[in-house]
Structure 1
Amino acid sequence: MIIINVLDNFQAALEAPRVLSLNSSKYFSGPYGEDIVFIANDWHTALLPCYLKSIYKSRGIYKNAKVAFCIHNIAYQGRHAFADFDLLNLPDEFRSSFDFIDGYTKPVKGRKINWMKAGILESDRVFTVSPHYAEELVSGEDRGVELDNIIRSTGITGIVNGMDNREWSPQTDRYIDVHYDATTVTEAKSLLKEALQAEVGLPVDRSIPLIGFIGRLEEQKGSDILVEAIVKFIDEDVQIIVLGTGKKIMEKQIEELEVTYPGKAIGVAKFNGPLAHKIIAGADFIVIPSRFEPCGLVQLHAMPYGTVPIVSSTGGLVDTVKEGYTGFHAGAFNVECETVDPDDVDKLATTVKRAIKTYGTQAMKEIIQNCMAQDFSWKGPAKLWEKALLSLEVAGNEPGIDGEEIAPLAKENVATP
């Protein structure tokens, strides 16, 4: 474990509300002051509530400040050698919040420190990125990754993420040649599918159901499950495009799809933002076979385009995709990442077959319309976050002002969460 100026970095974050003069909003200017709520995201920021207490509150600074700790992915906790606690420059009274024992040998065997554990225990309230993921985190050791007991003791609130509906909109998408809405989706998607098929080298045929996959090539996202499932449904009248980068062995798996299933499957192991947009717009279905998925963004991006999700039943996929209404659920998958569970392969293949049977039917048309009617902007989640943070009762905090989303567009926003 290498810690370089870790205290300086956190002190900079803690000093910022007291000294930075903010003038980017017509509703507010000047420093925030000390009566604020810090939001700490994942294990990398878990020391913030510890330093807040040990350095500031102990000296009468930030007396009323609170910390909301948000878990985006419980799989990454910041487990380090127990001796490294001394490098954190924290009083000994915090040692028990970090103390952790697991059965793994990395980074060392036995007793460790766990940053995320400390962040959870030392914060005032704990959040995560979907209600169903919150339920999973307290359901047991496998999905809570050995912090389930800790989270049960503190409680946790799940709020589904929003997404940038200016970047991901079929009416304005800068990467597609045909823009459309719910009234023109059928013809537009057929044209976009043909363009996509031609671009990636698949036979051009608008009558063939086209499935897309976009994501990191690693165990969490289930690309290995998908690769093993393809053989079980590829004999159907269907095509599939897999886009992603990640572990080299998984990149090789998808690059071999074109050879194994010529004219039926294509794997692109490259970071390609424009192609991600074209898949979201041109595919009929988007498959998300995650072993676990705290929230997921790909399904949020896909549905406004009328692209129907085929998903495993985990985390935010449960909250955002409704079986038979806005997509198809394959059930929960085994979270064990060392091997591919044959039952998961069968469940995924069966669900893909079930989905493509609806292609071209009235039921499919209704699902597409239902998908496009969903609102996945940040407006709803922002209201829930506001309500939750106001419940911490920090002096002077008031509800915000309703308005349009004003965050600047990202330089490039790619559907690979």
Structure 2
Amino acid sequence: MEILHERLTTAQTADAAEEFIRLFHRETPGAGDPGHRIAAVRAEIEETGTYRHTPEELVHGARVAWRNSNRCIGRLYWNSLRVRDRREITGADEIAAECVEHLREATNGGRIRPTITVFAQETPDRPGPLIWSEQLIRYAGYGDHPSVTVGDPRNRELTEALRALGWSGGAGTPFDLLPLVVQGCDDKPRWFDLPADAVLEVPIEHPGEDPWADWGLRWHAVPAISNMCLEIGGVHYSAAPFNGWYMGTEIGARNLGDADRYNLLPLVARRLGLDTGSDRSLWKDRALVELNRAVLHSFDRAGVTIADHHSESRRFLTHLAREERKGRDVGADWSWIVPPISGSATPVFHRTYEDRQATPAFVHHEGAADRAAGRNLV
């Protein structure tokens, strides 16, 4: 969702801050009465136009932003989010280095840890830093048309922009790692190569093996979203990359299976000897299931954390029940919560949800999609 980024007035910032401080004190045992903190924050906003969260407020705000993420099915684990406080960092070089360290820590040898790194906040006299890249890890897309792209067509524009900016490109494989594009405060965007040791990749093999032996498929282990803004109590953290772990369908049904991404279903069907002459043979459905089986099998074999859509659907209902017992409403976008395969076979399909927005939150601000595509990068 694109949200217009309008600067808040001093009064609006103060009201948003008070709402968050009251939430923090209400949900944090031992925090006590919020009155003194609210008075101090209002005075700071009156003097500077903004305020600074305490470390404890930042941690809780980031976790609640995940709890409020309507498109995420994996919110049962929201309170386990590891928060890396890097608010003192404003420059692109240091941000890029911390993003690399984020990947190493989140990867954790394959036992993926939900992690967020929060960089400098926006202030009335200084913009916040930006990470243009949609995710910390993305694969290049080479070619002047999606139908002939080598790699990921989603990243074709960004790949072209980076090459125009001086990136020499990778080896020309379908899985060349793109550089990270970072813009420091009051700076222009620059690109930074990701070191190979920071990116864990999983070779994708089918349990049957023989038809898949020479495919050369793989996918990275950590899905780290990097172009969303973390908003907590009227404060905007424009660079705050965060990750959970993959649900298998994100890779098998979307990244590798979608017709406008790697479009592997026809290839899978041919390798498995399926009749592709008519849609009524359901060859797409059968190929989709086998591709998703291969993803889960491969991550399990590599010892890398991944969820399946049936288990995660049940866990989401556990999350709903837990939140309801605490008197908290849960917003959700049905079209994102229901998995892209076997939807009606999962319990999340048979419910309705209110797509209500709550704060703190992760949001896409105006221009995020253009930046992720590398537009105006050169």
Structure number with the bigger relative contact order (C-alpha 8 A, sep ≥ 6) is 2
TM-score under structure 1 normalisation? 0.27
In our comparison, the structure showing a higher alpha carbon Rg is 1
TM-score under structure 2 normalisation? 0.29
